[in-house]
Structure 1
Amino acid sequence: MALSVTGCTTSKRDTLTTGSIPQRISAAPLDGMNASELAEAERSIGAAYVKNPSNKDIGLRYANVLGMTGKNTQALAVMQQVAIAHPADRDVLSAYGKAQAGAGQLEQALTTINRAQTPDHPDWRLYSAEGAVLDQLGRSQEARAKYRQALNTRPNEPTVMSNLGMSYVLSGDLKTAESYMKNASQQPGADSRVRQNLALVVGLQGRFAEAEGIARRELSQQQADANVTYLRSMLSQQNSWRKLADSDKGTTAVN
């Protein structure tokens, strides 16, 4: 199970509008887009990137949408170009580290994220990103220390609490994971990714009906269906989809 790096860039970056990016696309948060909307965003922002590959905001946005559509190698290539144009920019370095992690270059990602961090003015997002990479490297204790550093800087930040919960999922401690996930989902800034992680950890414990309810919460029918499809995919990767569906009493088995 892969742990996503949710903390290298802020959600504000998703809503940033510049004159070079089509306003209708840039004004919409990527996290709320369905597959067809993401494809359109990728096309439009990609066209803007081709015209101006050194533009920081376009490059960050394009790499983000590429990562969300599974094109991690291309996202890394984009961020390499942006990093060449902006070698000392903190936002660029953090996004570059995220792209490296997404492409499986974990040790390189740690180096890049550490370059972006400044001890005299630490960024909670970078602590969280570093923790996520450390978790993927199997260094869970170090990872959790980084998440707690992030929370010391940004108390009750839902993305960090969710990452901390996922750290316990990776080590098999689902009860502790659920505790962090529930707390994260109740914070004012919690988004659908945080609730999706909570749904996953609930489903992994065999409470599939509850998990599906969480996955559908506060979403349109189309978004809810997409979330449930993703949830089923994740659970099936654990060889548990059938077992969970069957063991969840009162729930009809899904074909």
Structure 2
Amino acid sequence: MPQRPRSSRLLLALALVAATGLAGCATPRRTDDPATTGSIGTAPQDDRATMEAWTARYRERPDDPSVAMNFAAALRADGRFAQAVEVLQKTMLQAPGDTGVAAAYGKALAENGDFAEALKVIRAANPPRTPDWRLTSAEGAIQDQLGNTAEARRLYGEALKMVPDEPSVLNNLGLSFVFTNELAKAEATLRRAAQNPRADSRVRQNLALVIGLAGRFDEARRVATAELPPDEAEANIAYLKAMLSQPDTWKQIRAADRKPAAG
């Protein structure tokens, strides 16, 4: 039976939902890098447009790994993890040597609660002598979801040795610090990631999240507004304020981290 992520991860998932891009009139925009974990979500209408666009594209080109990965990312953003797993499982058979597909498949399996299979897929595709940074970082994200913080950060460190200052790896490391309420480290890491020209929108949205969690709502609003419509950025800030107004928020997170994952 698939394992479930710890309740602290579920709490944070309310804010750390996968973001997708707007769909263009004729060609859907690529969803954010599947190597990057979590963000404050986009507007529901944007999610619907993205889903419709990538559904149509996938029907036209189901054998294209890039199209399949973006369609799966849209499914994941919509919470349809089992369907994303099915899409990527087919793509793995069509492109068995594609490390990007393997990373996305492993991540989808983890989001669907199948951590054992996710680790199996990632490790099988990642040769020890010539490791791929995407797969190494993806394994780190899975270890974080399992509560294996030290191992997760070791893997992020290994990935950063291969690709120094890679924003998607720094993003995942930053969120690892969020899970343990090390907000100063999380902010410093995400700022470093956001300064990279290759950082996608989710990195900057996660930076806004961490600044908000630290209680600096005006600054968080400014960062979020640069990435989201003003009304949506304001709604996210309001959510953070409400979450942090509960006196036991971080106490519950820490307590949940001490409990074993449910089977």
Unaligned runs of 5+ in 2: 1-11, 33-40, 248-263
TM superposition shift of 1:114? 0.9
Match of 1:113 among 116, 119, 122: 122
Distance 2:77 2:55 in 1: 14
- With a CA cutoff of 8 Å and minimum separation of 6, indicate the structure with the bigger relative contact order: 2
TM superposition shift of 1:112? 0.9
Amino acid corresponding to residue 225 of structure 1 in structure 2:
D
Match of 2:27 among 25, 28, 50: 25
Match of 1:187 among 191, 196, 210: 196
Matching residue of 1:56: 65
Amino acid corresponding to residue 29 of structure 1 in structure 2:
R
**Matched length:** 224
Matching residue of 1:79: 88
Amino acid corresponding to residue 58 of structure 2 in structure 1:
Y
Contact 2:194 2:204 in 1 (8 A): yes
Distance 2:157 2:104 in 1: 21
Q: How does 1:117-136 map to 2 (within 5 A)?
A: 117-136=126-145
TM superposition shift of 1:65? 1.4
Q: How does 1:138-177 map to 2 (within 5 A)?
A: 138-177=147-186
Distance 1:234 1:100 in 2: 28
The answer as to 2:107 corresponding to 1:98 is yes
Instruction: Report % sequence identity.
Output: 38
- TM value normalised by structure 2: 0.73
Matching residue of 1:9: none
Contact 2:212 2:240 in 1 (8 A): no
Distance 2:16 2:210 in 1: 15
TM superposition shift of 1:211? 1.1
Root mean square deviation, CA, Å: 3.0
Match of 1:229 among 210, 225, 235: 235
Find the residue that maps to 2:27 and give its secondary structure. Answer: helix
Residues 48 and 175 from structure 1, CA distance in 2 versus in 1: closer, same or farther, beyond 3 angstroms?
closer
Contact 2:177 2:183 in 1 (8 A): yes
Distance 1:228 1:117 in 2: 41
Distance 2:154 2:165 in 1: 15
Distance 2:127 2:207 in 1: 32
Matching residue of 2:244: 240
Matching residue of 1:253: none
TM superposition shift of 1:106? 1.9
Amino acid corresponding to residue 193 of structure 2 in structure 1:
A
Find the residue that maps to 1:25 and give its secondary structure. Answer: coil
TM superposition shift of 1:140? 0.4
Matching residue of 2:50: 41
Distance 2:121 2:17 in 1: 14
